[in-house]
Amino acid sequence: MRAPASTLDVARIRADFPVLAQTVRGKPLVYLDNAATSQKPRQVIEAMSRVFEEHNANIHRGVYEFSERTTAAFEEARSKVARLVNAPSEREVIFVRNATEGVNLVAYAWGRDNLKRGDRIVTTVLEHHSDFVPWQQLAAEVGAEIAVVDIDGEGRLRRDQMSAELRKGAKLLALTHTSNGLGTVNPVREIAAEAHAAGATVVIDAAQAVPHTPVDVQDLQADFLVFSGHKMLAPPGSGGGDMSSRVSVAMTEWNELPWKFEAGTSSYVDAIGLGAAVDYLCAVGIEKIHEHELALVGYLLPRLSEIPGVTVYGPRTLDDRVGVVSFNIEGIHPHDVATIFDREGVCVRAGHHCNQPLMTRLGVPATTRASFYLYNTTEECDALTRAVHAAKKVFGV
Amino acid sequence: MYRDYILDHYKNPRNSGELPGATHTYHDSNPLCGDELTMQLRISDGHVDDVRFSGKGCAISQASASILTEEVKGKSLDEVKRIDREHVLANLGIPISPARIKCALLGLKALKGAAWGLTAWPGEEVKAK
């Protein structure tokens, strides 16, 4: 396996993340659950504190200076996000709390108006529940059909099956850009083109992609693309705005995009934190972060795979993947694995990863998952393999 | 947390398998971690004559169920009824972190489901109403 060399100054990056200096039960924190949520750099924490300490006021309402300053910071965050994903217009960037809420918004706003009885929805077994359940529920409600495309033995999408399903006709393609369970990156651009040719609208779940790889919504030809700020150094839950422009008892006239989908007082400080996170990631370089994570996968995979009793799921190579490594140890349930890892200071996710159809497909109830980000190191990979040996020793396997 | 007797119960579960002539059977699961457990009882004259369980899951859930079956075998239903969440956790004899409490209680939940059709998590009966 030929891993790219990392060009990140990880020691300097780690110094920006206060939480990484913490210890767990006397051992250094080894945080390997970045697919669930990322840690936050001082720059993001301070950007948010500055709002509260220096100019906090509700946005889009006041006509006084503090409200205007906060509104400007909030809208500046929207511009930063638009630039990050190359949105055609910043007005197409809508702040919601998370990717899950984004998919639900598309399902209930667009889906209810456009999906009819007999329409076909094409999706995949790799979807997070967030990009599956809303479509499953909507399909049942309107009488649409769902086709779920399978994966091969390495967790890669069955392209032949995807093309065949799209050729049968589809109104909607709901596709994850990058699998949160296995780290597989799907050929989104190619598939989106096929979907459009079939007349489908394309919804891309990029929650595991935007934090780790360059994503260009125009290049991908995504009609809707969702992601979560908290997985990319920003705080959990950013969103909000003003949904209606004129309300009377008889009728409501909706505001323009994006504000009509951001009703109520938004989590504007979170959005401003997201803006600071985008600044941070862009200064480091998303492409470099991706290479750094692949270097860590290249380091960990052979060391993990050679341990007797360890089964690694998902891609065996570094092509079209991110820094997610899912595995099991024979004879030990993943929850027991994670509990023993915790005693070694190693934080990993154990469970079905909101990926139950994928777990069923893999034939396991759950897996243990390590997921990297820009601040992880090869020493932390070593801590993980040591923890695997510790778990095996406890269970005598 | 993984003391020898816990691992022993996990690897060599007591009262494991199918119970011939079971009068009460209940299957339960913890969807969060995929633990599954079936508890079977043979009850006569208000006593648990025999009990067996089968399941798959983490060491905590399977060991806890195994320990519980040893305890209830031969007991009267009145005695069994008094076994609660605290009792099971104390019996395990190890500190259980909040995220693993449901693993530890799955056996008791299945037992109460089998004996009385109770479906709430032990300790959360009031909330369930």
Complete DSSP assignment for A46-78: HHHHHIIIII---TTT--SHHHHHHHHHHHHHH
- Tell me the chain B residues in contact with residue A394 when contact means C-beta distances shorter than 8 Å: 2, 7
> CA-CA distance, A324 to A304, in Å (whole number)?
13
Please tell me the predicted confidence (pLDDT) of residue B41: 96
Tally the domains of chain B. Answer: 1
Please tell me the predicted confidence (pLDDT) of residue A36: 94
Q: Which residues of B touch A (CB under 8 A)?
A: 1-2, 7, 11, 32-35, 56-60, 97, 100, 103
Q: Report if residue B24 sits inside a domain.
A: yes
> CA-CA distance, A278 to A283, in Å (whole number)?
8
Per-residue pLDDT tens listing for chain A (397 residues): 677 889 999 999 999 999 999 999 899 999 999 999 999 999 999 999 999 999 999 998 777 889 999 999 999 999 999 999 999 999 999 999 889 889 999 999 999 999 999 999 999 999 999 999 999 999 999 999 999 999 999 999 999 999 999 999 999 999 999 999 999 999 999 999 999 999 999 999 999 999 999 999 999 999 999 999 999 999 988 533 333 344 445 555 667 778 777 766 778 899 999 999 999 999 999 999 999 999 999 999 999 999 999 999 999 999 999 999 999 999 999 999 999 999 999 999 998 888 889 988 999 989 999 999 999 999 999 999 999 999 999 999 9
ipTM score assigned to the predicted complex: 0.82
CATH number (domain holding residue B85): 3.90.1010.10
Nearest CA in chain B to A349: B33
The confidence band for B22, taking pLDDT boundaries of 50, 70 and 90, is very high
Whether residue A333 and residue B57 make contact (CB cut-off 8 A), yes or no, is: yes
Whether residue B2 and residue A394 make contact (CB cut-off 8 A), yes or no, is: yes
pLDDT per position as a tens digit, B23-62: 999 999 887 777 889 999 999 999 999 999 999 899 999 9
Whether residue B33 and residue A350 make contact (CB cut-off 8 A), yes or no, is: yes
Spans of all domains in chain A: 10-31+285-395, 45-283
Q: Which of B7, B11, B103 sits opposite A335 (nearest CB)?
A: B103
Contact A350/B at CB under 8 A: yes
Beta strand spans in chain A (E) = 23-24, 27-28, 30-31, 120-124, 145-149, 172-176, 201-205, 224-226, 244-247, 252-254, 310-313, 324-329, 346-347, 349-351, 367-371
Determine the residue among B58, B64, B96, B100 to mutate to test chain A binding: the one whose Cβ has the most chain A Cβ atoms within 10 Å.
Answer: B58
Residues B42, B36: contact at Cβ < 8 Å?
no
Contact A359/B at CB under 8 A: yes
- Tell me the chain A residues in contact with residue B59 when contact means C-beta distances shorter than 8 Å: 332-333, 336, 395
The confidence band for B1, taking pLDDT boundaries of 50, 70 and 90, is confident
Interface of A with B in 276-335 (CB under 8 A): 332-335
Query: Is domain A10-31+285-395 annotated with CATH 3.90.1150.10?
Result: yes
Please tell me the predicted confidence (pLDDT) of residue B14: 97
- Give me the domain span that covers residue B110: 4-118
Q: Is A282 a catalytic residue?
A: no
Average pLDDT over residues B111-123: 88
Residue corresponding to tokens 């990319």: A232
Q: Report if residue B126 sits inside a domain.
A: no
Q: Report if residue B47 sits inside a domain.
A: yes
pLDDT over 90, % of chain B: 74
Q: Which of B2, B34, B97 sits opposite A365 (nearest CB)?
A: B34
Please tell me the predicted confidence (pLDDT) of residue A241: 32
Residues A334, A328: contact at Cβ < 8 Å?
yes
Determine the residue among A129, A133, A330, A336 to mutate to test chain B binding: the one whose Cβ has the most chain B Cβ atoms within 10 Å.
Answer: A336
Class assignment of domain A45-283? alpha beta
Q: Report if residue B124 sits inside a domain.
A: no
Contact A394/B at CB under 8 A: yes
Whether residue B32 and residue A351 make contact (CB cut-off 8 A), yes or no, is: yes
Determine the residue among A24, A337, A339, A397 to mutate to test chain B binding: the one whose Cβ has the most chain B Cβ atoms within 10 Å.
Answer: A339
> CA-CA distance, B16 to A260, in Å (whole number)?
59
In one letter, which amino acid is A109?
A
